[in-house]
Chains A and B, each alone.
Chain A
Amino acid sequence: NAGVMQNPRHLVRRRGQEARLRCSPMKGHSHVYWYRQLPEEGLKFMVYLQKENIIDESGMPKERFSAEFPKEGPSILRIQQVVRGDSAAYFCASSNLGPGEAFFGQGTRLTVV
């Protein structure tokens, strides 16, 4: 999983601010997945993207959350007007064959104060 780069590793935001989480997939990978993890819990699927397309966003809240994977550049998970309940670790995974061969990044730990 060393090739999937997420930044920042830690992000602190005040309530109402915007949080932008970046994910650079492994070289050659065109599938990106975002997951959210609360302490002591497993990972919860949020969204699945291929280059320039959202394939499945059924795990992502309809409001305040959005994701993109542009033709050039990293995938971005954006959370607008953050609330305390958004505090969690957000993980990105990438693959070139679908989720069964996905490799995870080290995550971004978002803290909303």
Chain B
Amino acid sequence: GQQLNQSPQSMFIQEGEDVSMNCTSSSIFNTWLWYKQDPGEGPVLLIALYKAGELTSNGRLTAQFGITRKDSFLNISASIPSDVGIYFCAGLPEEYGNKLVFGAGTILRVKS
């Protein structure tokens, strides 16, 4: 089935730094989504991308839908302590559009 490779697995950064994470796949996706999950909670949708090349911002977050439709990245600018959590990419494969496929997550830890 479709696989999403998300990297890095974890990051430990200084408050105020910018953060970048990405997801890649060998399959084509129609939609890319980025979620954040806090401990004990469900994922919360941060950004949704629907077109190849689309660049979308949500506050300090910016995400892009790769031109090849096989990748996406998420940037967080000027990180703060509340950015701590697990970030997941998810995508709707072109072949099986019913199922969101999730990456394994990027754990973000911020030094204050």
Q: Which residues of A contact B (CB under 8 A)?
A: 1, 4, 6, 33, 35, 40-45, 48, 55-56, 58-59, 91, 93, 98-107
Contact = CB atoms under 8 A, between A and B. Distances in A.
19 contacts: A1-B42, A33-B100, A42-B4, A42-B6, A58-B99, A59-B99, A93-B42, A93-B100, A99-B92, A99-B98, A100-B92, A100-B100, A101-B48, A102-B100, A104-B35, A104-B42, A104-B43, A105-B42, A107-B41
Contacts of B48: 100-101
Contact of B45 (A42, A48, A103): A103
Contacts, number: 67
Given A48-B99, A91-B42, A42 B105 contact: yes
Interface residues of B, number: 25
A104 B44 contact: yes
Given A48-B98, A99-B98, A100-B92, A43 B33 contact: no
A40 B102 CA distance: 13
Interface string B33-76: 10100001111110010100000000000000000000000000
Contact of A107 (B42, B90, B103): B42
Given A99-B92, A104-B35, A107-B42, 16 more contacts: A1-B44, A35-B100, A42-B102, A42-B103, A42-B104, A42-B105, A43-B90, A43-B100, A44-B102, A45-B101, A91-B42, A99-B97, A100-B31, A101-B48, A104-B42, A106-B40
